[in-house]
Amino acid sequence: MDLKNQVAVVTGSATGLGAAVVLKLAELGANVVVNYTKSLKEAEETLALAKSKDVDAVLAQGDVGNDEDCRRIAKAAVDRWGRIDMLVNNAGTTKFADHADLDALNADDFLNIYKVNVVGAFQMIRACAPQLKARKFGRVVNISSIAGVLGVGSSVAYAASKGALNTMTKSLARSLAPEIRVNAVCPGFIGTRWFSERFGPETYARIVEHNIQSTPLQRAGTPEDVADAVVFFCTEGALHITGETLLSDAGHHLALAGVVRR
């Protein structure tokens, strides 16, 4: 797998899964745009790591929920390298709320989550589409979630937004073909610093152990696991695939379906 001299834009890539995707693509020779909203220090660290892979990389600050920012992020790639070959829509947000507590969410919560998780992804695709089409082998990978398939996760609004992202993946795969392939990766639980900081070390450890015990493969996912799936969609090995949603969840969807043997 060789992506030498190709250009990838990865949104929300200062830390966690986005950073892992940047580094995987850089290892294969791709030049990368590292996008961040507020985490400048972490973004600079990811930038330095990417450049240590003997590729070029550039920072682009911006909120994907803002269309002008999306166009500026895309322009950062074009200004630097004159092309965009790959877009990874990783930026996302949520609000934690029990699914049974209907008063825990309001209309603004839904709109804020959709603005980033769905509209933001659409705006980034629109901003990058002319360059992706020009390559005749443009690739878009949307980072969705098992929540969008099973209706689980941090909140009803989050699950609904990821379900919408999955549908949009199919719609745009159809409308942007044949020049651009559009696919999605749906991770299950991924152990990241964000989760650890959100829940604290003890609760986080229990969540990890629960995921190890409750999935067929008996392991908690890592950002690198999901990054490998993203890389697959970005290489010629997936030349014949578009409109696909790939579950990367250690078989979590099987466990919820009652398929796991006890």
pLDDT tens by residue, 58-75:
999 999 999 999 999 999
Distance (Å, rounded) from C-alpha 14 to C-alpha 119? 21
Residue ranges with strand state E in the chain: 7-10, 31-36, 57-61, 86-89, 138-143, 180-187, 245-248
**DSSP secondary structure code for residue 115 in this structure:** I
In a 13 Å sphere around the CA of 20, the CA atoms on its Cβ side amount to: 19
Which one from 36, 114, 158, 204 is the annotated catalytic residue?
Answer: 158
pLDDT surpasses 70 at 165: yes
pLDDT, tens only, 186-241: 998 887 766 666 667 777 677 778 777 778 888 878 999 999 999 999 999 999 99
Q: Can you give the pLDDT at residue 56?
A: 98
* Domain 7-190+223-249: assigned CATH number: 3.40.50.720
Q: Is 204 a catalytic residue?
A: no
The reported pTM is: 0.93
What are the boundaries of each domain within the chain? 7-190+223-249
Q: Give residue 249's pLDDT.
A: 85
